[in-house]
Amino acid sequence: MSNLHPRFTINQANVRLSARHPVQWARVVVDSPVLAHDHEFTEICLVLKGTGIHITEASAVDLQENQIFIVPAGSVHAFQKLRDLEVINIYFLPEWFLPEIQFNGEGDGILSLFFPNRSHFVEKHAPSMSLKFLPRLGGKSCAN
């Protein structure tokens, strides 16, 4: 998977991110394969229904309903073998929240999810982290 190269980049203007609107979201029906691409922003993807394969430079993960995954800015990824896939994408630039994260003492634990080059986190884990949503536990998530 290390040969994954972006065919295109999605920029902030494409998803209407700005200083006035630092977070945006979209409900998306993904009905055809998505070529390898990257973004200028971080994306949180919530899988509402359907299946598919999320491909990153480090892995290929089977997608299913109720999964959540984070794609840091600059990480190359693609989608294949889609079947009725519907997602909510949340777009933002983590640096807009950096002062608040630093001041409340969270440190590299949280930052490493959004800044892949900031710590050793990405050396140990895929640049896109897959989380499984467990509705029976009151909306809490745990790593796959």
Structural domain boundaries, residue 83? 8-131
137 part of a folded domain: no
Phi, psi of 105 (to 5 degrees): 80, 15
CATH number of the CATH domain containing 23: 2.60.120.10
What is the distance between the alpha carbons of residues 57 and 75, in angstroms, rounded to a whole number?
8
pLDDT in tens, the chain (144 residues): 558 899 999 999 999 998 888 899 999 999 999 999 999 999 999 999 999 999 998 899 999 999 999 999 999 999 999 999 999 999 998 777 665 555 445 555 555 555 555 433 333 333 444 444 333 333 333 333
Can you give the pLDDT at residue 21?
A: 87
Overall domain count for the chain: 1
In a domain, 136, yes or no: no
Q: How far apart are CA 31 and CA 7, in angstroms?
A: 19
H-type helices in the chain, by residue range? 98-103, 108-114, 121-124
pLDDT for the residue numbered 20? 84
Residue 125: inside a domain, yes or no?
A: yes
Q: d(Cα 101, Cα 110) in Å, to the nearest integer?
A: 8
